[in-house]
Amino acid sequence: MLSSFIHLFSPRPSPDGRRGFVEEVRVDSLAPARSRRVERMLLACWILIAAKCWLVVWLVDKYHMKFDALWVTAPTVLFALLCTAVYYFHE
């Protein structure tokens, strides 16, 4: 009942039924080249991730914490791998 009521206020469909369909798509330009700036930022982030992983492993060992350092480092590395893969393999 509500859908019938809403149709009263919606615009009427055009008599030309094919008006809303896409007939052709053309791509004239190629994908942009990789950015050196972004690649340098990725490298810097990987260096920071390596430093963080080393620091976490060292702190967990030094202060005899009751959890494994992989609980902190593994998600960091996995998400960084995912972000790097998305950048390099996107189309």
Q: How confident is the model at residue 90 (pLDDT cuts 50, 70, 90)?
A: confident
Distance CA 14, CA 20 (A): 9
- pLDDT tens digit string along 14-51? 666 556 677 788 888 777 788 899 999 999 999 999 99
- Chain-centre distance of CA 31, in angstroms? 18
- For 5-80, strand residue ranges (E) read none
Predicted model pTM: 0.65
